[in-house]
Amino acid sequence: DRSVCSPLPVLGRDVTVPLVTGGEVSYAALDYAASAPALQRVWDDVAAYAPYYGSVHRGAGYLSQLSTDLFENARRTVAGFLDCRDGDQVVFTRSTTDSLNLLAAALPAGCEVFVFETEHHASLLPWRDARVTVLNAPRTPGEAVATLEHALAARDPRGPALVCVTGASNVTGELWPVRELAAAARAHGARTVLDAAQLAPHHPVSVRDLDVDWVAFSGHKLYAPFGSGVLAGRADWLTAAEPYLAGGGASRRVSRREDGGVDVEWHESAARHEAGSPNVIGAYSIASACKALTEAGFDTLVARERYLIGKVRSGLAEVPEVRILSLFGDDAPRVGVISFVVEGWNSSHFAAALSAEYGIGVRDGLFCAHPLVRTLLGSDPQAQGECGAPEAGPGEKSLNAIRVSFGAGTPDEHVERFVTAVR
């Protein structure tokens, strides 16, 4: 399709890897869902800033002031990228996992949490101190909304509650009905946090339009692999909570008490949860990626990705032994994340062969979403060991899967090579 734009320039396109069959080949990074390569633009911005690096919020010198400005500007850029409401906070964290653990630590007393079993472990597990209701995997987006409605209807609406939803699955790539789920939550007095780790790199995310209370994502999946993530959204629960980490930067005033102890007044801004010297390069690189994706235009990026998804899915459809894993079916809207199993093959051996014989990097396993992958594979969890690479004997079901994923930097040749290799 000639109308589809070129890939955005990313790092790593000139990396070559050895093949077991002899010679070398350019590396085909098809594991964007785990970590995407840095956009060239992000790398250039970071390199241009690096000589001027200084500490944030901690110095009177010029470079410290500059770094503080860049860090706070990055916050504003991210707020714009997510279409945040007035009064929302943007907290820089280490990752999506960190962001969701931060929110979990900020839940009000007695908060209930509702989460689907289909979530990535980063969304499923942080709510250890809450009363958690785990919802069964739905088979349609409508069933997801109905399942949530049913569970919420049984709760006492006077108490606080949080619904944690994923924008795009890291296993099936399928889009979830976020707006409808958030509306159902709102109607039952619950709040919503959106895990946008897999959504934000592929689609625009508007906190306002989706009407979610918080959103979390990771820089390294958004072409900004410098160690930062984001939690953005309502200030009230964050400001009422104890700081996620205690230390410098989170505290406004600290004094000794008469009885020998220490009194602390914490900040009420996002700094409350950002104790310690901030990762300015991480924040700056995320802001750079937000600008680059916005300037490239999500309409254009989505069109290109749809074209690549079509190539991969039609290529896989020609191989009768391949089964693509899906909850919502073939027609569901999705991002460039496709998991599958190949009859007669151990998925880990298959992925290893793609690497060794074709220079293609994919992922194998249960993708930190064990309940979902087990549901999709239809296998008995009791029969499985840990998330390793269990052997599937002849005629047996695969116990793990293969995942190919791609995005704004993926050239046609990489997905074409992948399809040829699978064939």
- With CB under 6 A as the contact rule, the residue among 67, 68, 77, 97 that binds ligand PMP is 97
Q: In the stretch 36-75, what mask flags binding to ligand PMP with x, by CB under 6 A?
A: ----------------------------------------
Instruction: Please say whether the beta carbons of 155 and 161 come within 8 A.
Output: yes
Give, as ranges, the residues between 18 and 37 that touch ligand PMP (CB under 6 A). 33
- With CB under 6 A as the contact rule, the residue among 123, 172, 285, 400 that binds ligand PMP is 123
The answer to whether 368 is a known catalytic residue is yes
- With CB under 6 A as the contact rule, the residue among 38, 90, 122, 281 that binds ligand PMP is 122
Q: What letter would DSSP give residue 245? A: S
| Short-list 205, 228, 219, CA closest to 38 | 219
- The minimum distance between CB 46 and ligand PMP, in angstroms, equals 18
Tell whether residue 118 is a contact of ligand PMP (CB under 6 A): no
| Short-list 224, 227, 223, 200, CA closest to 212 | 200
Residues facing residue 262 across a β-bridge: 256
| Short-list 58, 399, 32, CA closest to 200 | 32
Give, as ranges, the residues between 140 and 169 that touch ligand PMP (CB under 6 A). 166
d(CA 6, CA 37): 16
Tell whether residue 342 is a contact of ligand PMP (CB under 6 A): no
- The minimum distance between CB 369 and ligand PMP, in angstroms, equals 8
Tell whether residue 370 is a contact of ligand PMP (CB under 6 A): no
Tell whether residue 181 is a contact of ligand PMP (CB under 6 A): no
- Describe the chain by its helix, strand, coil percentages, rounded to 5: 35, 20, 45
Q: In whole angstroms, what separates CA 10 from the centre of its chain? A: 19
125-128's contacts with Cβ under 8 Å and 24+ in sequence apart are 126/97, 126/100, 126/101, 127/162, 127/164, 128/104
Tell whether residue 195 is a contact of ligand PMP (CB under 6 A): yes
Q: Active-site residue among 111, 164, 290, 368?
A: 368
Active site residues: 368
Binding site for ligand PMP (CB under 6 A): 33, 95-97, 120, 122-123, 166, 170, 195, 197-198, 218, 220, 368
